[in-house]
Structure 1
Amino acid sequence: MTADTKIPPPGVALARGPPATCEYEASCAHAIETSLGIQGLGVHREHDRIVREIARTVDGTDPFAAVVRASQMAMVITDPLQDDNPIVFANDAFCTLTGYGRDEILGRNCRFLQEADTDPVEIGRLREAIEGRVPVEAQLLNRRKDGSLFWNRIYLSPVFEGDALTYFVASQVDVTSEKARLTRLETDREALEREVERRTRDLSRSEERLRFVLQAGRLGSWSLDLADMRFVASETFKLALGRDPGDPLSRAEYETLIHPDDRARRDVAVAECIAGHGDYDVEYRIVKPTGEVRWLKIRGQPFYGADGAPSRLAGIALDVTERKHAEAHRALLANELNHRVKNTLATVQSIVAQTLRANMSPQETRDVIQGRIHSLAAATDVLTRESWDGATLAAVAATALAPFRTEGDRRITIRGPEVMLTPRLALAFSMAFHELATNAVKYGALTSEVGRILLDWDIIDGLRPETLRLTWRESEGPPVCPPTRRGFGSRMIERALADELQGRAEIDYRPDGVVFIAEARMPDIRRPDQSRSPA
């Protein structure tokens, strides 16, 4: 059939022309058309004629006739000029495929193989192709003579002689196994899709949980591709670096944020990790764009490619600035505590040694040592409450004199502006107040029922630098006589305290009562405000 072949429209009577000259074409259907040269007869006579023609041409030169007869592919020829387009030829392969004998096949329409479950859409496609006299491929569920079902793939082609349609040739293949395999594949595909969907859903949930954990723990994540050195940082990490979380961050930009003094140490840690010497674990400083310095703890591990070489580093980042500050503060406190303990032990040792040199009875010696150590302990308590940053003069005085103020302010009055003492001055004043009060109980104003003590201090603004002047004044006690010798307490007050104050500390044994005056320069003393704070 050539491109100029004219096919009559559906409904127009089909006429058979004379046998065409045998011309070989590329399609099997056209080859059958040109080689057989058959005219319409009765079904069985037509079949016999086709068989004789095939037998004759097999011994001749036409190879396509031999193909039709000997082919393992089931083939039938139908005659559209007869009523209901019956089968007029069936090869042995078709008989084998269906289980029917040739006498049971010839004269019947191909639909006799159809099953109730045969796809009506595919049947419709076949009917449209037959009515339109065009080739078609369809796949139908058919039933064999023994009742077994099979999937039949049909390749239907029209055969023309000149302009007239003469036959339909249908090649058929049992694709049951293929269909079953495709069904299994489809089932497996659907199961795989469900599994992929489930795992994708689980992965999404895991990512959400991980994202929550990272954000809740303020953990940033990062990765570095060792091939192209592409650096990826999470939003939390960018925030820790002082960057906008929506802006990209390259490795070169990140490198500029690392503190210059820490880059070499960081580079060594990276090199050791890549060399296979363990995970990446290092702490270093970064400098934010604002100039603020922060500490980061970076942990990561290498990931390896198929060749066994590391291809990527990935891990987490945590801002540990507060921890670093806390560690530094703890170290400072430990050093300060060590220093304070040594000083305290030295002070206790000095108290005991000096007290033992005095000419006192064992009972008096014990009482004096206990009192002085108690005063030292009380001053230490005040400093401890203030985290050893110092203490107010009012608090030191109130604590040191508390054992002697059984009647409150009636016997001992404390007043003065709010000033802060360094830890060393707080201890020195506490010991001095204890010694003065002890002497007042033994020899001074507190030996009588009406004796009084006024502890007063103020800031002398007229002096440069500003000076704190403190006065201890006893009154209404027995007459005072200057001592014939100075004991440890007096020496500690006048010498040791004067050295600590970098000023003066003097005891005046006046007949009407002891007066103690101490002066200290204000650079060693902090004055929060000018309010007076009676204790």
Structure 2
Amino acid sequence: MAGLIRALDWAATPLGPLAAWPPGLRTAIELLLASGFPTCLQWGAEGFLIYNDAARPLMGDKHPRALGRPIFEAMPETRASWAPVLAAVLAGETITLQDQPYLLKRDGAGEQAWFTHSCSPLRDTAGRVVALWAVYIETTARLRAEWRRDQVEAALRAGEEQQAFLLRLSDALRPLAEPTAVQATAARLLGEQLDVNRVLYVDIIDEREAEIRLDYARGVPSLAGRWQADAFGEAVTRQLRQSQLLVIDNAQQDPVLADGNRALFAELQIGATIAMSLVKDGRWVAVFAVQNAAPRIWTPAEIALTEETAERTWAALEQTRAEQALRRREAELARVQRIGGIGGFDIDLRQGLEGPHLVGEHSPEYRAVHGLDTAGLAEHHGAWLRRLHPEDREPAAAALQAALAGDGLTYQNEYRIIRPSDGASRWILARADIERDETGRAIRLIGAHIDVTPQKQAEAALRESEERLRQFGEASSDVLWIRDAGTLRLDYLTPAFERIYGLPREGGLGEHDFQGWAATILEVDRSRALSHIARVRGGEAVTFEYRIRRPDGEIRWLRNSDFPIRDGTGRVRWIGGIGKDVTEEKRAAARQEVLVAELQHRSRNLLAVIRAVAFKTLGRGGARGGAVAAFDQRLAALSRAQGLLSRFGSDTVELGALVRAELEAHAELEPPRIDIQGPEVNLSVEQVQTFSLALHELATNAVKYGALRDDLPGQLSVRWQVHEAGEEDRLPPPRVPGRPSRPVLRWVQLAWREAGIALPPAAPAGERPRGYGRELIEDALPYSLGARTAYALQEGGLCCRIALPLR
């Protein structure tokens, strides 16, 4: 409006050009344009019109022509009603006109609205009234609310028919057992009562989704199904959340709906609707809606009836859900009682114990626990007494009498019965509440009988198992123990502890038994032993050895086999162990090592004697001298092997040590002439004896004829590697086909390669002699050790491969 005011040719009006306007008029115009309420200024006796943006809707189709024109020239139809008001205000009065009607055009549609006018005089600096200042305040919403309230009150006062409907609704909903039946019945009855096209109950699933399980639809399609919670527009959803009530008389004209929502309403044939939100405990749970295909002005009575029906439907739904939950709970309870062997009873004690004490008919589980015919006679005290086990009858009856005669409010006892149905003996745990009258006399006993026979049997089996374990532990010469995995406190310890540790079993390790046990371990072994305990707590099973010092100062060797013990969830709850005193075993092993070393020493001395006898007997000269020398060297090789066996503990020899020992006996191990490489591999006694002779033959031939001759620039390479099962294609083929052998999981293959030597011309195959060394390699090793060998003289060198099985 400010732009229109500046653009108007005011010089053509009695007000004159803008620049000539008095300061008071300018200030009034500034206030008018800044006001958020519809405001109008009518200047002078003719009432020249100036108004703000908020007042434009009130001008209707007379805007903008009315700006700057006299009021009755712009709006001649208002002269009769407005001329007195204008005159009175120009005379200095303030006049208020309440709730004046206007037909406005909003969102492209006509709408009836009401405004209250506050008309006051506007004075110049001299105090003269120069204009009328009018502020318009819309009262449409208040008036409509008041009218609806009046209509609702009138409808409720005269609503006998509606009250009758609500009574009919309550009667119809009361017997229903299913929530969907409640929704369908309420929707149908209200739809018929209001003569509408659709009634629906919407369950709000979450913030984004809602569901219409079923609806009442007459002449329009059903809307049953899942919907987005804001499918009918954000404004509709917002109003339902805030005010909980949405009333639309004409969906195509209502300002709450956007154009897209109006199109959806038209598609779904919704011309008018009443929708009520149900908010319970601060949560939006449902919407109850009435819809008509054509526009319809809803009366307050119809709105009130819809709201009341929605609330009663919700109450009926809650009642139905509660009853369903109760039925499910009763069914679950009966199932639990059946599975758990629990039977309920309810005994009337007002006539004494000899009266007719009936067990409630709702507990067939009681009859099943007691082995009674489900269609048999009613239960009574005498029948219960007769079922009691003869050994328990008197004490069980006395315990019940004592509980009833006392002043307690609970009763509990365990006893055995003999079931009539199968003659089986069953353990019963009886638990009950005792109700008493004002004098303290017991008048009612209500509780349950629980068949605890499986628990009793399990307890007996556990006691037997614990007794067997105790007897086993008492008889064991080893220490058996169990500790709590969390606290490491002892739960179980056998008597062998006293014999081995020299300490009393009870309290011998002090208040903190784990620290006490650790203190008995020699300091050099303690950290290793404790680390193994930590591994067991982590879930591993371990075996380790350590030494302890007894109180008398004696050192004992122990071998512990410790293991985790898990609970039903798989968590390590305890740790257990078996401690074996291996002191004598250690001493025996040490004595055996001494004896073996002595035996090895004597074997070497014996070989030396054999060598001397061979020299003395055969002499050193002539052809025999060469044989004697060869014999002597082979005995020396066996002696070296015996020496290595003694050094490595008598049962194994490391392959690299064997190769180096044999080569050192013939030459200096100087690289690059001699190259020895390979991983650490241990050979058994039976392998060392024969394999050392094969190495000796290869070494002596290398010194005499091959890479280690002093007058030849040869090189010797001895390398070995380990192959797993399945890699046999990398080994020499077997030389003894068809010979049965045990499965081999690992092989060690040694490759002896000589280079830089001159070989004599090859003889024909039939004339080619084989020496002792080659026969040993190609025949003896495969036969005695299951080896695979390959011996090949090549141009410029020799290649010999020997593969030994590792077991």
Q: TM-score, normalised by structure 2?
A: 0.24
Q: TM-score, normalised by structure 1?
A: 0.35
